[in-house]
Structure 1
Amino acid sequence: MRNLSLATLFSALAGFVLVVIAGWALDIETEFRYFSAYWGLFFASAGLIDGITQETTRAVASARETGVKGTASPWRFASVAAAIVVAVGTPVAIVAMHSLVPMSPGMATSLLIFGLVSYTFQAVLSGILSGAQLWNQYASLVALDSGVRLVLALLAWAFGWGLTAFLLITVAGAASWMVILGASDTARTHIRVALDVDRRAFVRRVVSAMLASGASAALITGFPTAVSAAFPDNNADISIVVGAMNNAVILTRAPVLVPLQRFQSALVVRFVEHRDRIYQALLAPVGAVLALGAVGFVAAWAIGPWILKLGFKPELFVDGRTLALLTLASAFMGMLMITGVAVLALEQHVWYVAGWVVASIVAFAVLFTSPWAVATAVVVALYVGPLAGAVVHVAGLARARVEVA
C-alpha cells in the first residue's frame, strides 16, 4: 500500500507538471484550449470505461472474501467493449473533433479510438490487481501511466512538437497494461482470477457501474470540454477566459482528485470488508478529503496567484479567491466520489448511478443556463452538482441499511 501511495502522489505531481508544460508549449487562445478540451474528452470517456475497473475490483475482492466463484470473464467483456468503442466511437469522434480540435480532427479521432480501446483492457487489469490486493503491481501501473505522459510532454516542449504531440501524450499512458503484464510474473498469474458472479450478472453490474462512472467522468475530467461547449470560442476574450478557467480547474483538482481516483479501488475493498459498519468506514475518508480541501483553500488563496504568475503565461492568470473556491470544490467532488464508492460496495448500483447522474445534470444545468460570467458559472456548478449527488448517495446508503435490517 505504501508503494501505491507513492505512485498516486507521483501521478498527481506528474499531472500538475504536464499542465504547466502544455501552458507554455501551446498557444493559449487556440492550441491550449483544444488540448484541454481533448484531454477532458479522453479522460471522460476513459472514466466511463473505469466502471469495468470498479466492478471487477468488487467482484474479485468479494470472491476472495466469500469463496464464491462465478463464471464471468472480465477480459471477454473488455473485448466486446473495445469492439463497441471502434464501431460507435469512431463516427461520433469524427463529428466531434471538427469542433473540439479543428486543427487536427483526423489525427485526434485516430488517437482517441486507439487510446480508448487500449484503456478498456487496462481497466480490467487494474480491477484484477486491486481486487487481488496486488498493490505493488497496481502501483507500477499507476506510475507508468503518468510517467510516460510526463516524459513525452517534456520532449514535446523541448523540441517544439506542438498540438499533435500533446494529443498523442493524452492517450499514450493507456498502453501501460501491456508493459505490466510483460514485466510481472505475478500479474500474469492472476489474469484469470475468479469473480463472484456469473456472466449475465457481471455484464449487468458493469454496465450500471459504467453509467455511473461515465456520469462522474463527465463531471470531473470532462468538465473542461463542457465549459468550452457552454462558452463558444467566437469571442477571443471569452476564449482566453475559458482557457484560464479550464487550466485553473485542472490544477486545483490534481492535488485532491488524482490521488483519490487512484485510491478508489482500495476504497472499494475497504467498504466491502466493512459493509456492516458502512457509516463508520465512510467517516475517515470523507473527513480526510474535506480537511485536505480546507487546507488547499487557504493555500490556493495565499500562494495560488503567485504560482500562476511564476509558472504560466499571463493569459492563464486567475485570482486567489477563485483558485481557493475551486480547490475546496474539488474536495466536495472527492466527497461525492467516496459516497459513490460506498454505495457501489453495498451493491446499490441504481443509487450509485442516480447520484452521479443527478450531480452531472445539476452541474451542467447551471453551466449552460446561468446568466453569469464564465468564472461564476464554473464555481457554482462545481459546488451544487456534487452536493446534490452526495445527498442521493447517502439516501442510497440509508436504504441499504434498512434492507439489511
Structure 2
Amino acid sequence: MTDAATPTGPVTRSSVARVGVATALTAACGYAVLYLAARVLEPAGFSVFAVFWGAFGLVTGASFGLLQQSTREIRIAAHVAPDRRPVTHPLRVAAAVGVVTAAALAGSAALWAPHVFAQERTLSVTLLSVGLAGFCLHGTLLGMLAGANRWTQYGALMVTDAALRVVVAVVTVLAGWGLVGFLWATVAGAASWLMLLLASPTSRAVAQLVAYESAGSFLRGAGHAVAAAGASAILVMGFPVLLKATAGDLGATGGVVILAVTLTRAPLLVPLTAMQGNLIAHFVDQRRHRLRALAGPAGLVAAVGAVGVLAAGTAGPWLLRVGFGPDYDADGSLLAWLTAGAVAIALLTVTGAATVAAALHRAYSLGWVSATLASALLLTLPLPLETRTVVALLCGPLVGIAVHVAVLARQPHTLPRTTDAKETT
C-alpha cells in the first residue's frame, strides 16, 4: 500500500463538492444522450432505445454492488492489522465476476432476448454482455477510489464514462446511424476504467489495494450487494424493461411515459447514485449514530424532492414539449406524481447505503427485493399505464424503506470488521 492510496480520513465537504461537480457533468451528459435519441428516433423508436438503455442500466446497476462492497472493505482495511489475515484483490475478483456474468448473459440470451429487444437483437445482446464485463471493473474501481478517499479520480471516472457516451451519440446524429448508433453510445463508457488507470498514477496505486478477508467472504458480501443493486437497478434504470414485461407493446404512449419517468427521476437519482461512495463512507464513519446519521441525507433528499415535485407539476409539461417536440405531451399532475415516486426511490437508496455500511447485507438486499416485487405486482393492476406506473414507483419503495429502517433501529451500534461477521436480519 502506498501513501498515495492510503485513506486519509472522514468524508469532507470538499469531497462531496468534487463528486457533486462530476455528478452535474454526468447528469448533463446523460440528458444530452436522451435528448438526441428522443429527437432523432421519435416516440415509438425512442421506446425501443429506452428498453436497451434500461436493460444496460439494469445489468450495470447490479454490478454496482461491487462498488458498495469495495468501498466498505477498502475503508475498513485501513483500520485492520494485516498480520495473518487473508488478502483479496477486489479488481481481480471483479474481472472474474465480469467474465462469468457476461458469458452467462450471452449464453442465456435465447431465453430472454426475444421478450426484451424488438430490434437489433444480436447486437443488443453482444453490447450488453461486453458492457457488463467492463462495468464490473468500472464499479469496483469506483468503490476502491471512494474507500481510499480519492474523490478527484472518482469524479474523473464518472465524467469519462458519461462523456464517451455523448461523443458517440453526437457522431451518431451527424453520421445518421440511427438506433444502432445510440445502442453503441449507451455502452461507450465500458472501457473508461482502463483509460483512468493508464492516465492516473494515483488510480493505479489504489487499484493495488487489498481487502483483508478471503475471496469467499468478499464474494458473499458482494453477492448480497449485487442482488440488492440488481433489484434497485430494476426500479432506477431498468424500469422500462419491467414496464415492457408487464405491459407488452408500449408504443408511442410508452415512449412518452418512459421519457417522463427518466426525466423526473434523474435530478435526484443520478447524483444520489453517483454519491453512493460518499454515503457509505459517511455511514461507516458515523456507525455509532446510525439513525441520526440517516436523518441528514434523508431530510435533504425530501427537501430537494419537494421542490422537484412543484417544478415538475408547473413547468414540466411545457419543458417536455419544448425540449423534445409536440409528440411528447404529458400532464403536469402525472409529472408531479412521477417526481414523488423518484423521491421515494431516492430515500430507499439512502437507507440502503446505511445498511451496507452496517454490514447488514441480507437486510439491504431484502429491502430492495421487497420494493421491486411490490412495484412489479402493482404494475399488473388493471389501471391505465400512467396510473399504475405512478402507483408502482411511489408505493413499492416504501416497503423497502420500512425493512431497512426496522433492521437499522434494532442493531447494536458496532461495525463488524469483515463480512464474515454474523448478521441479523
TM-score higher than 0.5 here?
yes
SS of the equivalent of 1:371 reads coil
Distance in 1 between residues matched to 2:97 and 2:114, nearest whole Å: 25
Shift of 1:74: 1.2
Whether the aligned pair in 2 keeps the contact of 1:335 and 1:390 (CA below 8 Å) is yes
Count how many residue pairs are aligned between Structure 1 and Structure 2. Answer: 398
Give the aligned residue type for 1:56: S
Distance in 1 between residues matched to 2:87 and 2:273, nearest whole Å: 28
Runs of 4+ residues deviating >6 angstroms: none
Match of 1:215 among 227, 231, 237: 231
Matches within 5 A, 1:2-401: 2-29=17-44, 31-67=45-81, 70-233=86-249, 239-367=251-379, 369-401=380-412
Distance in 1 between residues matched to 2:86 and 2:67, nearest whole Å: 17
Distance in 1 between residues matched to 2:242 and 2:389, nearest whole Å: 10
Shift of 1:292: 0.9
Shift of 1:154: 2.0
Distance in 1 between residues matched to 2:118 and 2:239, nearest whole Å: 19
Question: For residues 94 and 172 of structure 1, do their structure 2 counterparts lie closer, same or farther at Cα, with a shift above 3 Å needed?
Answer: farther
TM-score, scaled relative to structure 2: 0.90
| Residue-by-residue CA offset, 1:160-192 (whole Å, 9 max, x unaligned) | 210011111111112110110000011111212
Whether the aligned pair in 2 keeps the contact of 1:359 and 1:387 (CA below 8 Å) is yes
Shift of 1:70: 4.3
Shift of 1:302: 1.2
| Residue-by-residue CA offset, 1:320-355 (whole Å, 9 max, x unaligned) | 111111112111111000001101111111111110
Shift of 1:402: 7.8
Shift of 1:388: 0.7
Whether the aligned pair in 2 keeps the contact of 1:34 and 1:100 (CA below 8 Å) is no
Give the aligned residue type for 2:233: A
| Residue-by-residue CA offset, 1:369-405 (whole Å, 9 max, x unaligned) | 201010000000001111110000001102213889x
Report the more deviating stretch, 204-213 or 102-111. 102-111
Distance in 1 between residues matched to 2:156 and 2:372, nearest whole Å: 32
Give the aligned residue type for 2:66: I
Extract unaligned runs of 5+ from structure 2: 1-14, 416-425
SS of the equivalent of 2:318 reads helix
Give the aligned residue type for 1:326: L
TM-score, scaled relative to structure 1: 0.95
Give the aligned residue type for 1:37: V
Distance in 1 between residues matched to 2:234 and 2:410, nearest whole Å: 26
Give the aligned residue type for 2:93: F
SS of the equivalent of 2:371 reads helix
Distance in 2 between residues matched to 1:165 and 1:180, nearest whole Å: 24
Shift of 1:103: 2.1
